[in-house]
Amino acid sequence: MDFKAEIGKLLKKEHLPQELLQAPPNPDMGDYAFPCFTLAKEYKKSPQEIAKDLEKKLKPTKSIEKITANGPYLNFFINKTAYNKEIIQAKTARKKRNGKVITLDFSQPNIMKPFNIAHLRSTMIGNAISQILTYEGYKVIKINHLGDWGTQFGKMMYAFETWGEKTSLMKDPMHYMTDLYVRFHKEAEADPSLEERGREWFAKLEQGDKKARAYWQLFSKLSLQYYDKTYKRLHISFDSWAGEAFYEPQLKPTIELLEKKHLLEESDGALIVNLEKYNLTPCIVRKSDGSTIYATRDLAAAIYRAKTYKFDKNLYVVDVRQSLHFQQVFKTLELAGFPWAKDCIHLAFGTMRFEDGVMSTRKGIIIFLEDVLDKAVESVEKIIEEKNPHLKDKKKVAEQVGLGAIIFWDLSHDRLRDISFSWDKVIDFNGETGPYVQYAHARAASILRKTKAIKAKAAYEKLQAVQEKELLKQLSLYQEAIAKAAEQYKPSILAKYLITLCQVFNDFYEHCPCVTEPDKALAAARVKAVEKTKVVLKEGLTLLGIESPEEM
């Protein structure tokens, strides 16, 4: 039941503007207050008199048990049994499908490069957004727009032809390819003509040269096998793996379409869309050497998605450093006359920094994501060994908590912010972390195991202590937190909500015992509140892509 809506109905009957309804500053003034100031003119009475009149007119209901005038306000009091019960029993299930389709472009690793920690942000944020939007009723198409085309392939082909050999490649593909890539850049510093060799190889690939194609296939296959391990470990799946290469056949038609709309200009041999009027640098669609680029493929991809999925929104979870690129692409689509251009949104995120600076495959500072994940899991294993050495399934729990720590750290920060990553903070069981939330969940599970014997009927109206009220209030805000997170495409809103819920729950745990409470009807009501807290924590963590062990 929605109490506010119910009061709204009472007000509507009297033709009163329900949007004036507000939460009063203190609880003696009821749960909702209706200010009468603005009515004074129309009714030609003082607000105080109006409040008095309304007090007589409006009749309490089962759930709105008292309505009283208080100065210029009309105060509404909600029946506590109904209120508490309502919050505790509110359903927490996924909403019905709303018929809207969202395409969500996320993760997008670049073939031949390791899945590094920088990709983690896109993957985690994208996965959480997809689950939150699905919960809210959208149909979400998860697209992994792989970086599987571009000059880097030419460079790798040259490097492999010159310095590589297959046995070593097959043994440890990602490390081997990374080393070759780093070597290419080092040697190219001394001998810039290597860049030209790389371009030549890429041109061969674009022209469909057999050998180049075979290399492309091999490098792609090895990389995908490797990414797949990480996705499995993180329980992440995609509906489409159409990467940049997929759009290759659609590039010519895309350029022709822009041509037809008279959007193209030549500039130093390149084809561009001039965006000067919009204060943007030009969107280059074809380079002077005839090769197409990243932007052309994104134009083709957006057009393809509009046709194939008829999206209501087309979202891209990509590093904030690509903002200009997306502005150019979206503007070009708008100028080309696509009405859906306004529904394309770049969901930008900041950089994750380790102590040793921005990670970059080029500079050779490479942090492999799986090493980071492994390290998190190991650190958690040590903590468990100290805190709870007899825990069942230690390995599994350590994996869940270790990954949870990293994911939560990422998601609990506003996505636009840069994040600094330090180990002690990320896995601190007492900080605003994943393990902290998971621990609260395990604590709730433990309370429920210990109170199975309580058979009394829950007396919900007895939940009146400050900590109980706070817990209920926080629980009542859950759906709103998800809705807000969906609206702003910000999982951090849900993550922060979970942190607050845990803080309130821990307070409740300290002051409101379940096991030792002599009043069994009160204890039973508390147990119900714990049950609900556990459901919300587990579901909230699941939406973020984090597991919740029963014990830890």
Residues of this chain that bind ligand ARG (CB under 6 A): 105, 108, 110, 145, 147, 298, 301, 316, 318
Nearer to ligand ARG, 86 or 298 (CB): 298
Nearer to ligand ARG, 145 or 441 (CB): 145
Dig out the tokens for 42 from the structure: 């129309």
Determine whether 431 is exposed, middle or buried from the number of CB atoms within 10 Å of its CB (0-12, 13-18, 19+): middle
Closest CA to 534 of 490, 502, 491, 503: 502
Residues 99 and 458: beta-carbon distance below 8 Å: no
Nearer to ligand ARG, 151 or 542 (CB): 151
User: How many whole angstroms separate alpha carbon 169 and alpha carbon 146?
Assistant: 21
Q: DSSP assignment of 157-199, as one string? A: HHHHHHH--HHHHHHSHHHHHHHHHHHHHHHHHH-THHHHHHH
Nearer to ligand ARG, 147 or 402 (CB): 147
Closest CA to 212 of 202, 221, 220, 222: 202
Nearer to ligand ARG, 8 or 350 (CB): 350
Dig out the tokens for 408 from the structure: 């939560």
Least separation, in Å, of the C-beta of 105 and ligand ARG? 5
Phi and psi for 210 in degrees, rounded to 5?
A: -60, -50
Least separation, in Å, of the C-beta of 323 and ligand ARG? 12
Residues 398 and 381: beta-carbon distance below 8 Å: yes
Least separation, in Å, of the C-beta of 220 and ligand ARG? 13
Least separation, in Å, of the C-beta of 110 and ligand ARG? 5
Nearer to ligand ARG, 346 or 538 (CB): 346
Least separation, in Å, of the C-beta of 222 and ligand ARG? 17
User: How many whole angstroms separate alpha carbon 235 and alpha carbon 221?
Assistant: 20
Nearer to ligand ARG, 147 or 435 (CB): 147
Least separation, in Å, of the C-beta of 303 and ligand ARG? 13
Least separation, in Å, of the C-beta of 301 and ligand ARG? 6
Least separation, in Å, of the C-beta of 25 and ligand ARG? 47
- Position 312: which residue type? D
User: How many whole angstroms separate alpha carbon 186 and alpha carbon 112?
Assistant: 17
Q: DSSP character for 26?
A: S
Start-end of H helices in 37-172: 40-43, 47-57, 80-89, 117-135, 151-163, 166-171
Nearer to ligand ARG, 309 or 429 (CB): 309
Q: What is the 3-state secondary structure (H, E, C) of 476-534?
A: HCHHHHHHHHHHCCCHHHHHHHHHHHHHHHHHHHHHCCCCCCCCHHHHHHHHHHHHHHH
- Position 318: which residue type? V
Nearer to ligand ARG, 108 or 474 (CB): 108
Nearer to ligand ARG, 301 or 372 (CB): 301
Least separation, in Å, of the C-beta of 495 and ligand ARG? 23
What Cα–Cα distance (Å) separates residue 54 from each residue in 11, 43, 47, 209, 230?
Answer: 9, 12, 10, 83, 63
Residues 244 and 145: beta-carbon distance below 8 Å: yes
Please give the torsion angle defined by the CA atoms of residues 393, 398, 403 and 408, in that order, rounded to the nearest 10 degrees.
Answer: 110
Least separation, in Å, of the C-beta of 298 and ligand ARG? 5
User: How many whole angstroms separate alpha carbon 394 and alpha carbon 399?
Assistant: 9
What Cα–Cα distance (Å) separates residue 339 from each residue in 55, 245, 306, 310, 437?
Answer: 52, 26, 10, 12, 43
Furthest CA-CA distance within the chain: 92
**In the bound complex, which residue of the shown chain has the CB atom lying closest to ligand ARG?**
147
**Given CA atoms 33, 37, 38, 42 in this order, what sign does their dihedral have?**
positive
Nearer to ligand ARG, 105 or 410 (CB): 105
What Cα–Cα distance (Å) separates residue 267 from each residue in 260, 275, 288, 506?
Answer: 18, 13, 9, 64
Least separation, in Å, of the C-beta of 265 and ligand ARG? 23
Least separation, in Å, of the C-beta of 505 and ligand ARG? 38
Least separation, in Å, of the C-beta of 244 and ligand ARG? 7
Nearer to ligand ARG, 145 or 286 (CB): 145
Nearer to ligand ARG, 145 or 538 (CB): 145
* Residue 293 burial (CB count, 10 A): 18
